[in-house]
Structure formats: C-alpha cells, structure tokens
Structure 1
C-alpha cells in the first residue's frame, strides 16, 4: 500500500475504482485500519473512486504522542483531498470516522457531498471511561483491551458465527500503536458536537446498529434529529455494522449516495 507524506507526516492511502468516478472517502473506526472496508470495496468501486486511508494513530499512518482533537483528524482528511487535488468528496465513516465526518460537515461543508455517519455519536462520556482506556493502552498495551473491545463491537451471535472476521479485527486492534489509540481516545473524550451539527446542510445518512452498546441507537437518533433532513437506517448489528451486516450496509450506503 502506498505511503504518502503530508506536511512531513506519513499516511497510508489507497484508491480503488475508476479515476474519473466521483470520490468516496472512507474513514476507519478507532482501533482499526483501512482494511476494515474490504467487504464494501468490490461493489462501491464500480461506481466510485474509493479513497480510504489509515487515520492518524492507526495502521501505517503517523502516530506520535501528541495531543489533538477531532479538528486535527478532520484537517488530516482535508489535507489528503488537497494532496490529490480533489475538490469535493462523499464521506463514509464508522464510529470515530463518523465523528470526523460530523466535523467536516460542520466546518468544510463545501468540500463534502453526501455523508454517511455510521455507528457514531456527537458526544461520548463519561471522561473517566476514556481515561481508563488511555491508561490501559499506555500501561499494558493494546492486548489488554482487545477482548473487551471485541465484545462491544460484535454481537454474541456474530462472534460465534464469524470467528475469522472477529479474529481479523482483533489483529487490527493489537497492531494499532498504543500511543495512536490513546491520543485518539483523548480526542473522542473531549469532543462535543451536539450543537454544532445543527448547522449541517449536506445530505446525511445515519446508520444505527440496533444492538450497538458502544454507540447505542439513541446516539444515532440524536444526530439524525439535530441535522435537518437527515435520514436513518437501522441494521441488526452491533458496533461495526459494515462487517456484521456487510451486504445490507453496502446497499444502504450505495443507495443513499446514488439516490
């Protein structure tokens, strides 16, 4: 996978699909990398130039022990678009990626087309929860977090039926740099976009996992109610709905983007 240097920092970026198609930018969840989108690429790349990347602190992208907020992650996305001369892109982000999408829709709406905000929230408390995760990642490493995270991210029936997918996500978690995970946890801890997203004017689809304990249905409904005209779709899934319900997720997003 190609590594691009932006302002002296490496980012792992990949394109799929026709070079002349509309751009669809994908942003990964906390603790994963761009391969989390593998189930969607065969279908989406028929209609879109799919741009996916490892978020700051994740995968093969830059990971430094420097504090930042959701704004920094949003500006990273804009820097990637600028690097490739892309004026406007659709957006799809899961969890943390959906939080970045909210910031972009609020602060760079002219650069965004339609946005999919999946299994995400505008605010996630309490701070102590994130402080505990940060302390564990820094003090014990990512392995100490994996089992608890996987239990939140996938429903029990899916963990039993699809152990290979769960194991693959577990590997993503263990290979995420601990400092990258910790600094992104702090950005999520300090985020509150509940009021700012009321100004969003782009078309938005909110994807909700009906059995998602990490960002419960109420969190998705709050976003949808705050953004004028936002649509919702509910999937029978926990947190990583694009992996637990790949066909339904792929179709719902594509229908929204092309509708």
Structure 2
C-alpha cells in the first residue's frame, strides 16, 4: 500500500461480542457515510477511509483494490480477538468487499456489498475521471456526484446532510482520488468463497439493481446516508441469514 489505511471506531467497544467493519464510497468520509447507521448495529463498528479521503492519509503512490483488501484483512484479523467479524462496504468499499469474499484467508465471516458490482463501470471511464480530477481537482466532481449519489428528492429533504457529503468530496485529495479511480479501472472480482450479499438502491444510476440480492427502495448510490435505518435492518437480517451472531445490543 502506498498509504497505511486509517481505521476509526465508529460505535461500540473492544468488549462487544462481534466486530463489524464498514467501508466508504469513492469521494466520501466513512464516518460521515455511516454515522447514522452504525449506532443501530449493536456491535463494535470500525470504519476505514480511502487514502486522501476523510481521516485517510494522502496516497504516496498508486494502490489497488487488492492492496486495500490485503491490508484491511491483516489489520482486522489482529483486532478481532477471536470474535465473529462481518464486513459492509459501499461502492469502492463494496469492491473491496468482493475481493475479501474471494479470499479464503479473509477474517470476515460475512460480506455485504452495497451499491457495488464485481466490476463497476468501464476502465476508460475511470481513467478519464482520474485525468479530469488531476487537472481540475475534486470540486469538479461535486455537481455530477450530487446527481449520482442520491435518489430524487433527497437533497431537498436533507440539504444539510447532502451538503456535508459533497463538501467532503470537494476537500478530498485530488491525487488520492485519481489513484482510487485507477484502482477501480483495473478491478474485477474473482469467484466468492465466503458468503456475500449485494444490496443496491432502487434509483442507483452507477450500479444496476438487476441481480442484487436486495433492492433498497427510495435509495440511490449511498443507502447508508439516504436511509440508515433500512440499511441497518438489512445488515442485521443478512447477518442472521449468514448465521452470524445476532445484531441485537
């Protein structure tokens, strides 16, 4: 990895019976994306940030989805202390989830990929976006992301929440963002060997709901911020279905 992953405890404590790790979407802070969702999960919840995003250290060079999955797996294995561990990630974080699910040595007992697919978009699109951001900075992505991230009407209903998310995007390090785009350009998930479920918002224009295990009504590309209660409920259901420990407090 060109930059060590930054991990942040978002809820619970080391004494919690289980550990849930959550991952971010490109251009987001994991703490902001998952803030309203994690309190309902009744577990220790640790989030990781992409390099140059949120609390993440700026990338010193290129990185891949596989790099992040490898470091995350090693770090989480040391933190788990023998507890059951589950993972939920959004978009880029979901791509990391697919990679974790393909690794037999992954410490995760269950993986939930939200707003993600085994390949997200086409390589040329990601390389074009990386070049644009290197030239113009991440603020150039705000207008388009406002349209892609949220379901129709969300910005009107929750202007402060949407505004904070878009401000965090504008403050993201441009080179780190570009490296993340290039990582997605090269990534295609292998076959899963761990249980994995795919959740996609009804109005997601980045990833098609076709083929998802669950479609989240009224959501776009960032369901944890758009409908945190529903997402927490679905994660709880999925964990039970996968025979993970109950998510009751």
Q: Alpha-carbon deviation of 1:33?
A: 1.3
Report how far residue 234 of structure 1 moved: 3.3
Partner of 2:183: 187
RMSD, aligned CA? 2.2
What is the distance in 1 between the residues matched to 2:104 and 2:57?
A: 23
Is 1:214 the equivalent of 2:206?
yes
Asked if the contact 2:26–2:92 (Cα under 8 Å) also holds between the matched residues in 1, the reply is: yes
Deviations 1:106-134 (A, max 9, x none): 02454111111101011133222112211
Counterpart of 1:38 in structure 2 is: 35
Q: Give deviations 1:64-95, integer Å, cap 9, x for gaps.
A: 24222210110121232145354552000011
Given that 1:142 and 1:178 are in contact with CA atoms closer than 8 Å, whether structure 2 keeps it comes out as yes
1:121 aligns with 2:117: yes
Q: Normalised by the size of structure 1, how large is the TM-score? A: 0.84
User: For each residue in 1:10-62, what CA deviation from the matched residue of structure 2 results, as whole angstroms up to 9, or x when unmatched?
Assistant: 62422521423211000111111122100112211x2x111112123322222
Unaligned 5+ segments in structure 2 are: 242-249
Partner of residue 163, structure 1: 159
Determine the C-alpha separation between the residues in 2 that align with 1:102 and 1:86. 23
Name the TM-score, length of structure 2 as normaliser.
Answer: 0.87
Where does the alignment leave 5 or more consecutive residues of structure 1 unmatched?
Answer: 1-5, 225-230
- Judged with a 3 Å threshold, the aligned counterparts in structure 2 of structure 1 residues 182 and 89 are, in CA distance, closer, same or farther, namely same
Cα deviations by residue, 1:152-193 (Å, 9 ceiling, x for unpaired): 101221122111111011011012111111001000011112
Query: Structure 1 42/19 Cα, relative in aligned 2: closer, same or farther at 3 Å?
Result: same
**Matched pairs, number:** 238
Report whether the alignment pairs 1:61 with 2:56.
yes
SS at match of 2:36: coil
RCO higher in 1 or 2 (8 Å CA, sep ≥ 6)? 2
* Contact 1:116 1:253 survives alignment (8 Å): yes
Any conservation in 1 of the 2:27–2:53 contact (CA below 8 Å)?
yes
Q: Distance in 2 between matches of 1:165 and 1:7?
A: 31
Distance 1:204 1:258 in 2: 13
